[in-house]
Amino acid sequence: MKSLIILLPAIFIVTLVFGQKSVPPGNLAAWKAAKWEAKPLTDAEKKSKPAQFDNVMGKAQYVRACKACHGEKGLGDGTKAPTLKTFPGDFSSIEFQRQTDEVIFWKTKYGGADMPKYVGKVDDETIWNMVSYMRNFKK
């Protein structure tokens, strides 16, 4: 009887752990669970944030450099998205939109996984304008 008391919860835990299907890449749940920590910005980066964003410029740059993977509306459904190992994320989601401008700036500039780096390729002011443009994807 005593062994049964130990055995049953053990079986329960094992089923819980191994019973879960591992989430394939390109999956929203996997993306949400992924931890991608942004580092604090430098003083120069903070200073480069424009007082007034240029959304027209932000959009033009987004369409040119980001749309292929992230999709026109930031849903992660660009034409290149199926070739990526990691789902690019859903920019219309609360999970994305609740991040600060600074975090989105950092992720855009320094990249991670299948996300390219833009440091040295796109200047900071342009990145800020893209950050502002990405706010338009909010549901």
Select from 81, 67, 77 the least CA-distant residue to 114: 81
Q: How far apart are CA 4 and CA 7, in angstroms?
A: 5
Among 26, 28, 36, 45, binds ligand HEC (CB under 6 A): 36
Is residue 77 within 8 A of residue 104, CB to CB? The reply is no
Residues 6 or more apart whose CB falls under 8 angstroms from that of 77 comprise 71
Q: How far apart are CA 101 and CA 124, in angstroms?
A: 13
- Which residues from 88-127 bind ligand HEC, rule CB under 6 A? 88-89, 96, 99, 104, 107-108, 112-116, 118
- Is 129 an interacting residue with respect to ligand HEC (CB under 6 A)? no
- Collapsing DSSP to helix, strand or coil, 102 comes out as helix
Among 26, 59, 84, 110, binds ligand HEC (CB under 6 A): 84
- Which residues from 3-22 bind ligand HEC, rule CB under 6 A? none
Residues in contact with ligand HEC, counted by CB under 6 A, come to a total of 25
Query: Residue 129 Cβ, how far from ligand HEC at the closest point, in Å?
Result: 10
Which residues contact ligand HEC (rule: CB under 6 A)?
31, 34, 36, 65-66, 68-70, 80, 84, 86, 88-89, 96, 99, 104, 107-108, 112-116, 118, 130
